[in-house]
Amino acid sequence: QVQLVQSGADVKKPGASVKVSCRISGYTFTSFGISWVRQAPGQGLEWMGWISAYNGYTNYVQNLQGKITMTTDTSTSTAYMELRNLTSDDTAVYYCARDPGVFSVGGGFDYWGQGVSVTVSS
Amino acid sequence: DIQMTQSPSSLSASVGDRVTITCRASQGIRNDLGWYQQKPGKAPKRLIYAASSLQSGVPSRFSGSRSGTEFTLTISNLQPEDFATYYCLQHYSYPPTFGQGTKVEVK
């Protein structure tokens, strides 16, 4: 069965970076993309960006450009999302989701990781 | 960006009730809309895709419909496990955008 398993919770200081992983199983990694979505405490869902697992092409939401990097490792079927220069506004749960888009953002997220809590605090 | 206006933001209902949640898109999105259920501390789970297609394994009491740019999620015969927050998501236009969410609470 399709599974997306994310790394564990993390606590970071302001200005630091965090890198979250998302390891997939149950499907061919390179036949889909991966989107990342975050949810601040008590808030709604925010799409952050997408990466093609086929060719590594990325597309980030405008307000995170320069702060975010998404990568993949096809040898381990793992996607990564790195967020730099963290502030308290980045405190959130971060989800990866399977995206049907291989060459561009698809958006119909059918399977999700369990989520990773990232807390930014001094 | 396409705005998805979801209403109501919360509602109170009882087991057995029929519940309706609406998302209105700021422009046409064809049928490129999904509905998600999220329970506390859990990842969202897709219930409906392509506006009205039921995700495999999802109970048939969940249904989706579209009228122009207005999309509706209906839960008939609300069950105890259905108390949760529901979100719509449009993926017709970049970037994908979510509605603000509707919390379904026990009356």
pLDDT at A45: 98
Cβ distance A45 to B94 less than 8 Å, yes or no, reads no
Task: Judge whether B37 is closer than 8 Å to chain A, CB to CB.
Answer: no
Nearest by CB to A112, which of B43, B92, B95? Answer: B43
Give the whole-number percent of chain A exceeding pLDDT 70.
100
Contacts of A76 (CB under 8 A, 6+ apart): A23
Task: Judge whether B35 is closer than 8 Å to chain A, CB to CB.
Answer: no
A3 pLDDT more than 90: yes
Q: Write out chain A residues lying below 8 Å of B49, CB-based.
A: 108, 110
Bridge partner residues of B48 (DSSP):
B35, B54
Q: Each residue of B57-68: pLDDT tens digit?
A: 999 999 999 999
Cα separation, A48 vs A68, in Å, equals: 9
Contacts of A63 (CB under 8 A, 6+ apart): none
Q: Which residue of A has its CA nearest to B6?
A: A44
A107 pLDDT more than 90: no
Under 8 Å CB pairs connecting chains A and B tally to 54
What's the gap in Å between the CA of B40 and the closest CA on chain A? 10
pLDDT at A63: 93
The answer for A 89-118 residues in CB contact with B (under 8 A) is 95, 104-110, 112-115
Q: Each residue of A22-81: pLDDT tens digit?
A: 999 999 999 999 999 999 999 999 999 999 999 999 999 999 999 999 999 999 999 999
